[in-house]
Each structure stands twice: as C-alpha cells, then as structure tokens.
Amino acid sequence: MFKIIKNSEKSDGRIGELETNHGKFNTPVFMPPGTRAAVKAMGPEDLEDIGIEILLVNALHLYLQPSESVISGIGGIHKFMAWQKPVLSDSGGFQAWSFGKKEGKKLSVIADEGIKFYSPLDGSSHFITPEKSIEIQYKLGADIIMAFDECSPDTNDREYAEKSMVRTHRWAVRSLKKHQELSKKREDKGKTPPLIFGIIQGGIFKDLREESAKFITSLPFDGFALGGETIGYNIPRTLEILAWIKNYLPKDSPRYTMGLGASLYDIIEVVKRGVDMFDCVAPARLARHGSLYNGKIRLEKGGVAIESEFPDKILKINNSCFRNDPLPIDEECDCSTCRNFSRAYLRHLYASKESLYLKLATIHNLRFVRRLIEALRENA
Ligand SMILES: [Zn+2]
C-alpha cells in the first residue's frame, strides 16, 4: 500500500504515496484535524482548493455526537462530510484520557479492560475498550484507523509509564484482533477493509520507547504512529524520541507523529527525520486568533527555509500598522485569500468579528503549510 518514491540524500526524509480505499495521497502529508467531522470554517471545496489530501476525524468525539450509527446510517463519514478523499480516524485513547483533565471535570478511570470517561457534553459516563474503539472506527468508515492506546503524560514516573506501555501493547493486540475479525466480515461482503496503524508509547524513557517500538512494529500493522503527551508539544524531546526509535521503524511502512506544535520549523524537522504523516491543530487555530503565516519559502542545500520580516513568521493581523495596508497577507502565497484580499480588509473583518474572516484566514494558513510541504517534497 505504501510506496517510497524517493529517499532524500540530505536527510532521513523520504517522499512516497499511500494507497487507501479513497485513493492515494502523497507523503509527507499534513492532515488537518476535522475532529468533529469538520475543519472549522472550511467546506470540502475549500480544502480541495488548498490541496488537502487527507483529513483526520476523532472516533470518540463522533461517538458522543452525533454517534457512529447516525454517520453509518447516512452512508459513512465520506458521504456525511461530502469529502471523497482519504480520512484517518483517531481511536480516542487520547481524548478518553484528556476529557478528565479539564478543571472541575470527573477524572477518567483507566483500567486494563478499557477507559471509563465522562462526556464533556453532558457529563454522562461511558466505557470504551479497544474492541469498541475499532468497532466505532469501522462504522465511521475511515480509510485508516488507529489502534486504541493509553496516552502517556510527561508527568508519569517510570513505574507508571512502564505499566501504561504494557497496557497499550495489550490493547494493540486486542485492536488488531478486532480489526482482523471485522476486516474478514468486510472482505466477505466484497469490500476492502481500512488500513490500521499501531501506536508507540513509552513516555519520556529511552528504554521504554525502544521496547515499545520493538513490540508494536513486530505486529502486522500497516503503519506506525508515535503517541504520548510530549509528541509534537515538546519538539526537542519529540526529535530525541524519533532518534531513539529510528532503527526499529520498518523503512517500508508509513510513520505518523500524532499532533505537532505551532512552529513551522517543527514540520521541517520531523519531515527531515523520516516522518510521513502528521496532524496539527495550530495553523487553523492561529488563523482564528489573528496570527497569519508569512514568509518566503526557500529551497536550500540542506532543506527548506522560511524568510520573513515578522517574528516567528507570523503576521498579527490586528496590528494597527495593517489598517491601510493594500498588500495581501503574503505576496508569494497563491491561496484564494491572498489573490483577492488585502491586509486592510482582513484586519477590518477580524476587528469587526465577521465570520468571513475565519474562512479567509484559515484558507491562507492551511495553504501556507501545504506550500511548505510541497517545497519539502520538491527538495527531498
Ligand atoms: Zn495566502
């Protein structure tokens, strides 16, 4: 299913393509999170124009609302969202754990059988097991599904991190078993089952990460993801963990870092280290809060660089200096926002809280990331 087209001569990066039930996509790839079956303010045609090739949805959020049965009744996640390209569903292990983290909420209870959690919508209690998560993801009809895992927080001591990793390993085996059972049923009906990825945990401990990488990659998953609270959120540590497990990852399988931080350089750094897929809430979130990417994307000998007159390559649209500015957000950007609208107009929309601002700003930031990926592919 996964084909490597080129291995970079400058780094561990590679370009490839992954075939799914809804066509193939090119890697490295950025998957915008459409957690509740929508990328905020974006319609499917906007995402296609930007060049988005695959979306991420979340099994647990959709189980709570509107429910996997409603979605399968309409004809599956693609029909539901009117999106005909690939969709990856996250298993919900991270959410089941994180729902309880908000102040004043009841904490989730993690046991060997599964996770008991309380809905952030109405406080109702739910119990999710690896088998249940896989069933939900099958009902949604995603093209790539994820094994159910326990997210390892950075605050775990070694003893707990190990216990949690062992549990994630058992859950990986159970997820895979359920997948094989459902996949057989689907094949009997003449349909192709989804791909399934395993998730490597082990917290911030080198030996545990190595052990987890060794164990998870010994199972017949179609791809391998790197999970845990620290991944993407703490980029120096993420890169360190990638280096620890590098030699355990099969070269011919896709690799996915789950959740990347706000900096565009984080993307460049993980791609350089051979990551093929990543998701990141930052581009859309920053856009909504008035932070718009700006900079010339330059191909360099060692890779790709971004040159911008603004700190962190971010133009703060609310700044009064843009009040009369006739320029687009970014003169080099080919997105529909930059082709048609001035900074002055966007600043006005932002200041007057017009909902059109959300759409125009999100289009630009997503397209900027997409252009960065295109440059990384070109210069691999
Ligand atoms: Zn633009």
Both tokens assigned to 81: 């969202």
Q: SS3 of 171, please?
A: helix
- Residues 376 and 372: their CA atoms lie apart, in Å, by 6
Q: What is the pLDDT of residue 97?
A: 83
- Residues 360 and 157: their CA atoms lie apart, in Å, by 44
Q: Evaluate whether 93 touches 133 at the Cβ level (below 8 Å).
A: yes
Q: Evaluate whether 105 touches 174 at the Cβ level (below 8 Å).
A: no
Crossing angle, helix 206-217 and helix 235-245, to 10 degrees?
60
- Residues 162 and 168: their CA atoms lie apart, in Å, by 10
Read off the pTM.
Answer: 0.96
Q: Residue ranges of the chain with pLDDT lower than 50?
A: none
Q: C-alpha angle with apex 227: 223 to 232, nearest 5 degrees?
A: 110
Identify the CA nearest to 91 among candidates 75, 114, 124, 119.
Answer: 114
pLDDT digits (tens, 9 = 90+) for 338-373: 999 999 999 999 999 999 999 999 999 999 999 999
Q: In angstroms, what is the span from residue 366 Cα to ligand 1's centroid?
A: 9
Q: SS3 of 300, please?
A: strand
Q: Which residues pair with 198 in a beta bridge?
A: 224
Q: What is the pLDDT of residue 140?
A: 98
Q: Evaluate whether 215 touches 169 at the Cβ level (below 8 Å).
A: yes
Burial (CB < 10 A; 0-12, 13-18, 19+), residue 311, is exposed
The Cα-based distances of 242 to 10, 139, 302 in angstroms read 17, 33, 19
Residues designated as active site: 90, 279
pLDDT digits (tens, 9 = 90+) for 219-234: 999 999 999 988 988 9
Q: In angstroms, what is the span from residue 115 Cα to ligand 1's centroid?
A: 42
The Cα-based distances of 331 to 199, 283, 337, 359 in angstroms read 40, 18, 11, 19
Both tokens assigned to 310: 């603004």
Q: In angstroms, what is the span from residue 336 Cα to ligand 1's centroid?
A: 7
Residues 6+ apart with CB under 8 A from 286: 262, 292, 293, 314, 365
Q: What is the pLDDT of residue 155?
A: 84
Q: In angstroms, what is the span from residue 329 Cα to ligand 1's centroid?
A: 6
For the chain, the domains span 2-280, 291-378
Which segments within 280-318 are labelled E, that is strand? 291-293, 296-300, 303-307, 314-316
Amino acid at 110: I
Q: Evaluate whether 280 touches 231 at the Cβ level (below 8 Å).
A: no
What is the DSSP track for 89-137? EE-SHHHHHHGGGSTTSPPPEE-SS-EEEE-TTT--EEEE-HHHHHHHH
Q: In angstroms, what is the span from residue 372 Cα to ligand 1's centroid?
A: 12
Q: In angstroms, what is the span from residue 283 Cα to ligand 1's centroid?
A: 12
2-280 carries CATH number 3.30.1130.10: no
* Helix (H) or strand (E) run with residue 3 in it: strand 2-7
